[in-house]
Structure 1
Amino acid sequence: MSFDNNQPLSEADKQLDGTNERLVVDVKGAVEHPGVYEMVQGERVIDVIEKAGGMTEKAAAESVNLAVKLHDEMFIYVPEQGEAEQSLPEQQNEQGDTQMVVLNRATEVELQSLPGIGPAKATAIISYREEHGAFSSLEELMNVSGIGEKSYEKLAPYLRLN
């Protein structure tokens, strides 16, 4: 297991967002060195995967949103090819409740299991999906009324398209 608790912050890390806040992130699945990594506030999934040695040749890279900003206690799972269509290990929210929602097929009840999504936002997501067809990217969720960048950042770790 890797845990970089004694590594000093580089100047680039300190300048990321003006804070020195450290995050602890767990990376598993099709990466070269699965483990727990200490990261800096403002870094993204791609940064921790690179720190874990990158994805293996068997990784289903298209199933991982590399642009999501990291948060403390985040769990990232990189599935292997073929595994993405099967059931993925579920992710956990901060309260420990298990959930992974398929955005293009989720029911109103499933959407409401996500952090910050109540009945009105769940209905808005389904209405948007019915009017515009399936979401082509997770980021498209920000086109739904009432879901901005901050809401999206909280939701993205718990969503996948298909």
Structure 2
Amino acid sequence: MIEWIKTNKLVVLGGIFIILAGAYFLLEPASEESNVLDNEEEWLTSERTVNENIVEHEEEVIVIVDVKGAVNNPGVYEAENEDRVIDMINMAGGLKESADEAKINFATRVEDEMVIYVPEIGEEMEQEGGMMTVMGGTDQKDGKVNINTADDTELQTLTGIGPAKAAAIIDYREKNGPFKVIEDLKLISGIGEKSFEKLKEQIKVK
């Protein structure tokens, strides 16, 4: 056998070369396929990350609130979507000792362009007169009442809205957040389709 190998050295080497070449060509496509899969997975992961960043960016909403009255640092502050009046008061340095806490609804959610006025003890609220003064409930330009910011007094200026329904509207938005469309007002007990038809030209959401 050894003598045969020595005699046919070239044949043996040629056979070994053919075997190695065959193994290389069999394994190489698998390796290339693996690289393709890895690259595809990396691309999909990258695209997913970009899409998530775009969605997150689209959901970002800047909410600007003006805090006035009996707070330590009155001014304009940037809020987040889920912030409430108490959060804005804390941003403004908290209440002064002279603040009338009984007239403040700390749980109300804030919205863009809201003005929160904290009255002092004994201060007469001639214009707004609610538990918390939130200016801008009624727009002077169109005369419509913003049902997301209007206080008890403003709500009662609407057709068919008395003290009980005004309280129900305020209670609803405190528990569920601001109304998204004016039609949401029909979710309030006692405000049906007929009542809404009389109200829809007098109200708005913002």
TM-score by length of 1: 0.53
Is 1:145 aligned with 2:190? yes
Tell me the matched-pair count: 113
**Which string of whole-angstrom CA distances, capped at 9 and with x for unpartnered residues, describes residues 45-75 of structure 1?**
1111110011100000111111111111100
- Taking the TM superposition and a 5 Å limit, the aligned residue runs for 1:64-103 are 64-83=104-123, 85-87=124-126, 91-93=135-137, 95-96=139-140, 103=152
Aligned match of 1:29 in 69, 73, 76?
Answer: 69
Larger Rg: 2
Residue 157 of structure 2 corresponds to which residue in structure 1?
A: 111
TM-aligned CA deviation for residue 93 of structure 1: 3.6
CA distance 1:107–1:48, shift in 2 (3 Å)? closer
- On the 8 A contact 1:73/1:94 being kept in 2, the answer is no
Q: Deviations over 1:99-145 (max 9, x none)?
A: 89763xx598x522xxxxxx3xxx2x32847xxxx959x42798642
Change beyond 3 A, Cα 1:87–1:127:
closer
The structure in which a higher percent of residues are helix is 2
**Greater fraction of residues in strand:** 1
SS of the residue 2:162 aligns to = helix
2:95 is matched with: 55
The amino acid across from 1:43 in the alignment is D
Q: What is the percent sequence identity of the aligned residues?
A: 33
* 1:126 aligned partner: 162
Q: Distance in 2 between matches of 1:48 and 1:60?
A: 16
Are 1:26 and 1:36, in contact at CA under 8 Å, matched by a contact in 2?
A: yes
Over 3 Å counting, the alpha-carbon distance change for 1:81 and 1:128 in structure 2 is closer
**TM, length-normalised to structure 2:** 0.43
Structure 2, gaps ≥5 residues long: 1-57, 174-186, 193-202
* Equivalent-residue separation in structure 2 for 1:49 and 1:62 (angstroms): 14
- Which sections of structure 1, spanning at least 5 residues, go unmatched? 1-17, 113-118, 148-154, 156-162
Distance in 1 (CA, whole Å) between partners of 2:119 and 2:140 is 21
CA distance in 2: counterparts of 1:53 and 1:127, whole angstroms: 34
> SS of the residue aligned with 2:90?
helix
